[in-house]
Amino acid sequence: MNTYKNDDSLRAAQVEKLRSRYGQAKQQRDQWVPLWQECYDYALPQRQSVAMAGQAAGNARTQHLYDATAMDAVDQLAASLLAELPPPWTNWFGLKPGAELSAAEAEAISPKLETATKVMQDHFDRSNFAVEVHQAFLDLVTAGTASLSFDEAAPGAFTAFKFTAVPLGDVVLEEGVNGYLDVTYRYYGLNYAQLKEKYPNASLPISVIEVGEKDASASFDVLEAVIPNGLMYDYMAILVDSSNEECVLTQAVMPSSPFINFRWLKSPGESYGRSPVMKTLPDIKTANKVVELILKNASISVTGIWQADDDGVLNPANIELKPGTIIPKAVGSQGLRPLEMPGRFDVSELVLSDLRSRIRHSMLTDRLAQISGRNMTATEVLERSAEVVRILGATYGRLQSELLTPLIKRAYAILRRRGEIPDLPLDGRIVAMDYRSPLARAQSQKNVQNILSWINASVGLGVAADQAIDFGAAIRFIGEALGVPSNLIIRDLSTSEITTTQGA
């Protein structure tokens, strides 16, 4: 990265333009803040969300909650997404030869690509990816939009990757011309040590240095901006000190964005996404209120409401309702007696059960849950996989293009620049991505079943196998659909070789 002097007039104009654009984008984002905060209050209260920036991380934030159905559903859906998309310590992606390579060229580079896949997977497994992407999924399910920071670790570290789930309160996003949330602004605070570590070549103002050396806990506001410029990304980091003077910490051009922003559902004309919690928020709030009323009714039923005659003997302030208590009363008075309630609240159980069922259904808890039955036929397993694909089809398509693809491309670019993997372009023509997550494989199961059914039907009808079926192409297709490593698939295997081997 290149560092620029603070007296550069061109840089000052760029900073002013950047701050103006950031302010306009923040005004649009602020319209979402009340809705986001309400979703976090009821479904993920412990998350340091948009309107909680000034609160301590360990403060209790559940005093207003009486029903935990939504919180449990958010946890389960986020865990299901983690297990279905990038499951930890599992080969959920791969690299394969591109479409423009010949069979001989693909055969030659397949072992190298499989080695590169293992290297990338090893770096993912050693990093904090599983922890941070799960937190990002919690934000995605709750607020509909999530941001994951993908930075390169220092040379010599245990892994080359470093991830951070960025809170929505720190980021302001814009939708680029390609329809993705690839314009990112991050406004957050760093102490003096963090500032020096992240921007070691920056020329800090004297006032910042003096404050940082006196008070190690002092926080300094930093504005990071990543804006696409053709196939590259312009990156700028600005320090705003207490006197509102701006200092450019660093400025660079990057081949990929360090911020990966993704959405659950996008409505036309909107940049930020919408979440399952937003859809079922009325039921969540109603269920919370019903449980609150039930608890109040239970408290009244246990302790009761009492009335007493003012006879000069009975003092209600000194009465304790506990076993063995003797309450004095005047002769001929009724003393202390319970007040009859006008009705019961038993219908609330039916309402609450229906509300909780709708919340679980909207949050996919009842459809993505673990298999409860011990005995399931193969047909039931396939139908269950097809149901999961149907439910998450649209969401998976968006997450694949907005999360998985940028994630793999940035990891590939980092390791390629470090020389740990072959210097080949990941453009789909020379090297292509192969998605091997459980959900991606479930989508391929139907095609595999159709091909196997066609082969069995063709053989059953007495058709000559070498005339009607290209077994080599069929085997390669089935292997790729099932996520078999490409170096195990022989690319130039012909039908004649298969039939000769079968005859022998």
Domain limit, last residue, from 434, 453, 481: 434
Taking phi over 0 as left and psi of -120 to 50 as alpha, with beta for the rest, 407 belongs to alpha
Same domain (yes/no): 355, 491: no
In a domain, 18, yes or no: no
Going residue by residue through the chain, which has 504 residues, state the pLDDT in tens, using 9 for 90 and above.
444 444 556 777 888 888 889 999 999 999 999 999 999 999 998 876 565 444 555 566 677 888 989 999 999 999 988 988 899 888 899 898 888 888 888 888 988 998 999 999 999 999 999 999 999 999 999 999 999 999 999 888 899 999 999 999 899 999 987 888 889 999 998 988 889 888 888 888 888 888 888 888 888 899 999 999 888 999 999 988 655 567 888 899 998 899 999 999 888 888 999 999 999 999 999 999 988 888 887 776 766 666 666 666 667 677 776 666 666 666 666 666 666 665 555 667 778 888 998 998 888 887 665 555 556 666 666 666 667 667 777 788 888 889 999 999 999 999 999 999 999 999 889 999 988 887 777 767 777 878 888 888 877 776 665 667 777 778 888 877 777 776 677 766 554 444 444 444
In a domain, 83, yes or no: yes
- Crossing angle between the packed helical segments 378-399 and 438-460, to the nearest 10 degrees: 130
Distance CA 495, CA 22 (A): 61
Q: How many helices (H) and strands (E) does the chain have?
A: 15, 12
Pair 223, 235: CB distance under 8 Å? no
255 DSSP assignment: S
What type of residue sits at position 276? Answer: P
Same domain (yes/no): 38, 142: yes
Q: Residue 329: how many CB atoms within 10 A of its CB?
A: 14
Same domain (yes/no): 294, 384: yes
265 DSSP assignment: B
Domain limit, last residue, from 415, 434, 453: 434
In a domain, 14, yes or no: no
Same domain (yes/no): 384, 498: no
- For tokens 């009244």, name the residue: 300
What type of residue sits at position 129? Answer: F
In a domain, 75, yes or no: yes
Give the number of domains in the chain.
2
- For tokens 């004309």, name the residue: 269
In a domain, 184, yes or no: no
Same domain (yes/no): 421, 457: no
Q: Residue 3: how many CB atoms within 10 A of its CB?
A: 14
In a domain, 461, yes or no: yes
| One-character DSSP codes across 22-87 | HHHHHHHHHTTHHHHHHHHHHH-TTS--GGGTTS-TT----TT----HHHHHHHHHHHHHHHHSS-
Distance CA 45, CA 249 (A): 35
Same domain (yes/no): 361, 422: yes
The sign of the CA dihedral 334, 337, 341, 346 is negative
Same domain (yes/no): 475, 496: yes
- Nearest 10 degrees: Cα torsion 317, 321, 327, 333: 80
In a domain, 78, yes or no: yes
Same domain (yes/no): 124, 267: yes
Same domain (yes/no): 283, 412: yes
Give the SS3 label for residue 234: strand
Pair 368, 76: CB distance under 8 Å? yes
Domain limit, last residue, from 387, 403, 434: 434
| One-character DSSP codes across 337-381 | EEPPPS---THHHHHHHHHHHHHHHHTTTTTSSPP--S---HHHH
Distance CA 440, CA 393 (A): 10
Domain with 406, as residue range(s), is: 32-51+64-162+263-301+343-368+378-434
Same domain (yes/no): 427, 486: no
In a domain, 11, yes or no: no
Same domain (yes/no): 428, 452: no
Same domain (yes/no): 68, 139: yes
Q: How far is CA 152 from CA 160, 185, 256, 453, in A?
A: 6, 19, 12, 47
